[in-house]
Structure formats: structure tokens, C-alpha cells
Amino acid sequence: MSEFETYTAPPPAPQEESSREERQWALFGHLSALTGLFTGGVGNIVGPLVIWLVKKDSMPFASDQAKEALNFNITLLIVGVILFLITLVTFGIGVIVTAPLGLLVFIAWLVLTIIAAVKANDGIAYRYPFALRLVK
């Protein structure tokens, strides 16, 4: 046997793994933003904020993911306000541009929130592709 046949890859570096309960709370941190669909948009911010405040000292992974969801939803709130202001300033004519953009933002929000929830449930820290890091 040559030395290439007996060589095995080194084991992966040990990673600090989050518990099932912590991954579940991280999942809730992302999915809690979906309550905004039923609360007129208030739940988008309040859901992740509550989970982050409750779990920030006891579950670092869940806290990180809830804070990520909070930052993402604050970013999208700002985008929504800007689109609304453009519509107002143009006396409604801007709705030709802002309505399709708003729909795209909504679809992106829904898809990215679901992807983030699935990743968090798998124990993978998810970072949204565009989010202002306002809450540190």
C-alpha cells in the first residue's frame, strides 16, 4: 500500500454546538417576524425584539439570531417608509414604481425569513444579505 491509500482526512474542528432548545428559540426569533402579517406590521419588530430581550443572557445563539431578525426587519421598515414617502411626495404617481418595489421587498422578506428560520433550526447562524446592524 502506498502512503496515499492509508491517509485519512483529519477530523473537523470541534464547534460549539447549540442545544435543540436554543436552536428552536433561534427559529422562533426569525419566525416571530411573520406575526407582522396579522398585526399590521407591528409584529415584525416586536416578535424578534421580545425573543432577543428574553434570551439575550441565557442563550447566545438564539439571542444572535433574534437580533439578526430584528435588524433585518428594522431595515425593511425603513425601506417601506422610504417607498411610502416617495409615493406621497409624488402625489401618488410614484406608486407606479413603489408598488412593484414594495411587492419585491415583501417577497424577499418572506423568502429570506423562511430561509433564516430553517438555517437557525439547523444550528447555522444566518446573516441576511442586506440588513443595517442597528441593534448591536
How confident is the model over 75-86, as a mean pLDDT? 95
The predicted pLDDT at position 41 comes to 78
pLDDT number for residue 12: 45
- Cell 430553517, residue located: 118
For residue 58, give the DSSP letter.
T
The predicted pLDDT at position 8 comes to: 52
Q: Measure Cα distances from 122 to 12, 34, 81 in Å.
A: 18, 19, 33
Phi/psi at 84 (nearest 5 deg)? -65, -45
Question: What is the pTM assigned to this prediction?
Answer: 0.83
In tens, the pLDDT along 82-131 reads 999 999 999 989 999 999 999 999 999 999 999 999 999 999 999 999 88
Does the pLDDT value for residue 1 go beyond 60? no
pLDDT digits (tens, 9 = 90+) for 6-21: 545 544 434 456 789 9
State the burial class of residue 6 (Cβ atoms within 10 Å of its Cβ: 0-12, 13-18, 19+): exposed
Backbone angles phi, psi at 12, to 5 degrees: -65, 155
